Amino acid sequence: MRKIFMTALILVLALSSCAFADGVKIGSCIYRFSDAFMLRFRNAMSAESAKEGAELVLADSQNDQTIQDGQVEEFIANGVNVLIINPVDRMATQNIIDKAKAAGIPVVFINREPPADILSTYDKAYYIGAKPEESGTIQGELLAEYLKSHTEHDKNKDKKLQFVMLMGENGHQDMILRSEYSVKALKDAGIEPVQIVGAIANWDKLQAMNMMNAFIMSIGPENIEAVIANNDEMALGAVEALKANDYNKGNPEMYIPVVGVDANASALEAMDRGEMLGTVLNDADGQGSAAVKLAVMLAEGKDVSKEVTDGKYIWIPYQKVTRGEKK
Ligand code: BGC
Ligand code: CA
């Protein structure tokens, strides 16, 4: 009798630990659901969670750090095993880390990099992303390559490149470093870039379109030789404004090269139509699946030291995408 009881008990224990292994519950906050790139990211995370048999609960932080902080508290109270956080304000991540640490829950940050001194305050805090310097450099290189064989784009023949810069959100690592490194790559390629105007359009197509419209009116399209945008949505906004002024509609005399970053489907389509010059693949699939895989390993208490660099990071590379190389 006792023996049967023991066997049954062992069986129950074995079953419950096995149920835990593929019952990992992940709580994930996304800074803003309406962000086109983060939609790709979310889809990748959902697909990977399904593969791993993990439960993924996603929350829309609506671009509000206070809302996100509340969602994190709720996830912890509801007993999630691990958090994947796309911060609204990457500088305000200490609070999230403190809460996760107090609850003993690992936290994987994505897409918006917390400062190293904040990340270092918790041994179970990680970051998965892509190096912004890389995307800026590739963007500058692909524009330089094009301009070298299209000298007609030096419209005022001053051997310099008069360009408009459309920037993402203030303080975002991708806004700061993409802006800096795209210009650096142009210089390294022997082009002298002159920024006529730079504006923050918050990664947003409509904001970028309105700004570009205003620039076209005030500067005149004949005085703009290129548009560099920190992401595809803003590049597409610029393209819309140009098209409304009969630019980038197929007439080579009326074309301004526009470059973006992300390789979102709508940008690839615009490139196929000849409306946009190029983009850089921001690998949402790679980053999303790596985030879920790492989160599951952490939730299961596995050793992740071989998965990360410098104890905390997973870097997913960017790739150049130009016309005719549709992915
Ligand atoms: C992407 C942008 C996106 C932003 C959100 C960047 O890496 O290129 O499209 O809006 O992340 O944080
Ligand atoms: Ca010029």
In terms of Cβ atoms closer than 10 Å to its own Cβ (0-12, 13-18, 19+), residue 95 is: middle
Q: Are residues 146 and 194 in the same domain?
A: yes
Q: Are residues 137 and 277 in the same domain?
A: yes
The whole-number pLDDT of residue 323 equals 73
Residues in the chain, how many? 327
Average of per-residue pLDDT across 119-129:
98
Q: Are residues 202 and 218 in the same domain?
A: yes
**CATH value at residue 101:** 3.40.50.2300
Is residue 262 within 8 Å of 280, Cβ to Cβ? yes
Ligand closest to Cα of 169 equals 1
The whole-number pLDDT of residue 324 equals 57
Residue 262: CB within 6 Å of ligand 1? yes
Residue 182: CB within 6 Å of ligand 1? no
Q: Are residues 203 and 174 in the same domain?
A: yes
Query: What are the tens digits of pLDDT across the range 62-99?
Result: 999 999 999 999 999 999 999 999 999 999 999 999 99
Residue 101 lies in a domain: yes
Q: Are residues 151 and 42 in the same domain?
A: no
Average of per-residue pLDDT across 126-148:
97
Average of per-residue pLDDT across 115-140:
98
Token couple for 155: 């419209």
Q: Are residues 199 and 248 in the same domain?
A: yes
Q: How far is CA 302 from CA 57, 149, 272, 286, in A?
A: 22, 52, 45, 21
Query: The whole model's pTM is what?
Result: 0.92
Q: Are residues 79 and 19 in the same domain?
A: yes
Is residue 67 within 8 Å of 30, Cβ to Cβ? no
Residue 193 lies in a domain: yes
Is residue 56 within 8 Å of 292, Cβ to Cβ? yes
Nearest CA, atom 11, ligand 1 = 111
In the reported structure, the alpha carbon of residue 226 is separated from the centroid of ligand 2 by a whole-number distance in angstroms of 10
Residue 282: CB within 6 Å of ligand 1? yes
Q: Are residues 258 and 296 in the same domain?
A: no
Q: What is the DSSP string of 247-291?
A: -SSS-TTS---EE-SB--HHHHHHHHTTS--EEEE--HHHHHHHH
Percent with pLDDT over 70 in the chain = 92
Q: Are residues 152 and 275 in the same domain?
A: yes
Strand partners, 82: 26
Distance of CA 152 to the CA centre of its chain: 34
Residue 304 lies in a domain: yes
In the reported structure, the alpha carbon of residue 137 is separated from the centroid of ligand 2 by a whole-number distance in angstroms of 21
pLDDT band at 50 (very low <50, low <70, confident <90, very high): very high
The amino acid present at 163, given as its one-letter code, is: F
pLDDT band at 21 (very low <50, low <70, confident <90, very high): very low
Ligand closest to Cα of 223 equals 2
Q: Where are the alpha helices (DSSP H) in the chain?
A: 2-21, 36-52, 65-77, 94-103, 116-119, 132-149, 173-188, 205-219, 232-244, 265-272, 284-299
Residue 323 lies in a domain: no
Q: Are residues 157 and 277 in the same domain?
A: yes
Q: Are residues 124 and 139 in the same domain?
A: no
**pLDDT of 4 higher than 80:** no
- Phi, psi torsion values for 59, nearest 5 degrees: -125, 140
Please state the atom number of ligand 1 nearest to the C-alpha of residue 86. 12
Residue 193's SS3 state is strand
Dist CA 220 CA 259 (whole Å) = 19
Nearest CA, atom 10, ligand 1 = 203
Ligand closest to Cα of 31 equals 1
Quote the domain boundaries for residue 248. 132-281
Domains in the chain, number: 2
Average of per-residue pLDDT across 270-274:
96
Please state the atom number of ligand 1 nearest to the C-alpha of residue 230. 8
Residue 325 lies in a domain: no
Q: Are residues 164 and 204 in the same domain?
A: yes
Residue 224 lies in a domain: yes
Percent with pLDDT over 90 in the chain = 91
Query: What are the tens digits of pLDDT across the range 191-201?
Result: 999 999 999 99
